[in-house]
Structure 1
């Protein structure tokens, strides 16, 4: 399956799951008297909109290079990730405000059945996290990693809600607010995950060269090409699901320009064949 199609199917999988979970959480929270579940539902609704943004970003980032974008449109993906982080921050702020309001308002102890629903939600969200994270690693996609962390943060908020509701039910009257404090604890985890999602995307926008393993792989492949005696500088920058490479290759100093040019083309073709995630490859020839 093409990389783009797999990425799109992964996002659609996340989006449909979040739509179903948002409905379940809202209904369970309303009828089960649990604001932690309602807060969870709010996050799931925001996750749906975030998934739509990721989907749009992936489709745009996968467009081929054109005259105005010779390196492709991959930078759209980290920009989309920034928007996803913004949604997470809005989610955390909304939950914080509503939880504080709810703490100040007397309310019923949550119903026991909400624990069973939360248990199922936690299990499903962790499974979703594992699926999406594996695909994000396979496709080298930061926006899919953000999508995966959405599932993990949702699982964490559900765990916090489970603990809070359990305390409220077990201790009874006077402990109703444990449910709401659990929602506040979840906000801390959401904020932390937001940073973990934001930092790699910022590095991609800033063209940080933090790809030591890929650099080593490129150098190893280069030495397999006839005529390449070694490598010097190797600069890598990520754009979407592709890595653009500038490599200085060393050849014998007495070769003609044409011979050096031919070696550069052989090297470029070999790199793109053996390392499919490479995008634009620029080879600079140096005398050995």
Structure 2
């Protein structure tokens, strides 16, 4: 289980590194194309990629920190760094939306030329690359059950949404011509709404995890079922589960025959714990309290 956790963390880090490399490349491509092509929406898009790099870098550090073993000050390990990173990524998204919105309004009020048509080609490449990156990172995040990796995926999706809005705005400006130079600026402003929406989708589950909210009832039922299958377990009275990084900690009350001795009851608890740790449910540790069963 420990080896599996390390492999999961390494995979999450590799995914984050890929996102950083692609985002850095897109910053230069979009920023230069936006400047030369007179498109603030494209420049705003480059800003969004910059936020991607910052947030992915933050996630990278958090995933490395989350791998640190438990110590006296952190007996449950350092896994909470992972949802904290997700929370900060969401806040970065909101800040990026505010920055883009402010400058969009400025450029809407400032006369400027029509964007160049080649910026559309740049945006098509950006949209495709970011959407593919989003799907890949989200797939990894779901498989690892990592809120931070999923948050990073939605950051890439926000970048794709900004690019789509810029594409629409530039098309409107080019088709309608003079008098519609600010269409792509309006597009950048509208994209801010979608970015904030994605930020909220990231922040809510991350905050729940920080607050030790229970996982889904289906997940708890799987844990309970494994414990209940033990021949000596008469009933699973309580089962509390909390997530720490990429793994789970379980507190459980089981009922056994009240006539068996303490040593046997203790063995039953250890057997149930071993069965849960050997499952594929990413359980890090289990604390079991044994109670006598009342017929």
TM-score using structure 1 length = 0.97
Aligned to 1:58: 63
Q: CA deviation at 1:253?
A: 1.3
CA offsets 1:7-58 (integer angstroms, 9 cap, x no match): 1101001111100111111011011111000000011112101111000101
Asked if the contact 1:71–1:280 (Cα under 8 Å) also holds between the matched residues in 2, the reply is no
**Match status 1:114 vs 2:119:** yes
Q: CA deviation at 1:286?
A: 2.1
CA offsets 1:44-101 (integer angstroms, 9 cap, x no match): 1121011110001011111121121111111111111222122112211110111111
The separation in 1 between residues aligned to 2:139 and 2:233, in whole angstroms, is 35
Pairing of 1:186-197 with structure 2 (within 5 A): 186-197=191-202
Aligned pair count? 288
Q: CA deviation at 1:276?
A: 4.4
Asked if the contact 1:122–1:155 (Cα under 8 Å) also holds between the matched residues in 2, the reply is yes
Which of the numbers 242, 245, 260 marks the counterpart of 1:255? 260
Aligned to 2:81: 76
The separation in 1 between residues aligned to 2:22 and 2:256, in whole angstroms, is 54
The separation in 2 between residues aligned to 1:34 and 1:273, in whole angstroms, is 56
Which runs of no fewer than 5 residues in structure 2 stay unpaired? Answer: none
Asked if the contact 1:260–1:285 (Cα under 8 Å) also holds between the matched residues in 2, the reply is yes
Aligned to 2:90: 85
Aligned to 1:38: 43
**Match status 1:27 vs 2:5:** no
The separation in 1 between residues aligned to 2:233 and 2:28, in whole angstroms, is 60
Aligned to 2:286: 281
Aligned to 1:158: 163
**Match status 1:185 vs 2:185:** no
Q: CA deviation at 1:261?
A: 0.7
Aligned to 2:250: 245
Asked if the contact 2:62–2:81 (Cα under 8 Å) also holds between the matched residues in 1, the reply is yes
Helix, strand or coil at the partner of 2:11: helix
CA offsets 1:154-210 (integer angstroms, 9 cap, x no match): 111111111111100110101111100000110000111111100011101111114
**Match status 1:125 vs 2:118:** no
The separation in 2 between residues aligned to 1:155 and 1:229, in whole angstroms, is 53
Aligned to 1:99: 104
Asked if the contact 1:129–1:151 (Cα under 8 Å) also holds between the matched residues in 2, the reply is yes
Aligned to 2:226: 221
Q: Which runs of 4+ in 1 moved over 2 A?
A: 223-226
Helix, strand or coil at the partner of 2:111: coil
Q: CA deviation at 1:240?
A: 1.0
TM-score using structure 2 length = 0.95
Aligned to 1:10: 15
The separation in 2 between residues aligned to 1:138 and 1:228, in whole angstroms, is 31
The separation in 1 between residues aligned to 2:234 and 2:192, in whole angstroms, is 55
Asked if the contact 1:211–1:236 (Cα under 8 Å) also holds between the matched residues in 2, the reply is no
The separation in 2 between residues aligned to 1:287 and 1:127, in whole angstroms, is 55
Q: CA deviation at 1:285?
A: 1.2
Asked if the contact 2:48–2:96 (Cα under 8 Å) also holds between the matched residues in 1, the reply is yes
Asked if the contact 2:215–2:243 (Cα under 8 Å) also holds between the matched residues in 1, the reply is no
Q: CA deviation at 1:211?
A: 2.0
CA offsets 1:222-278 (integer angstroms, 9 cap, x no match): 123231222121111111111111111121111111111111111111101113411
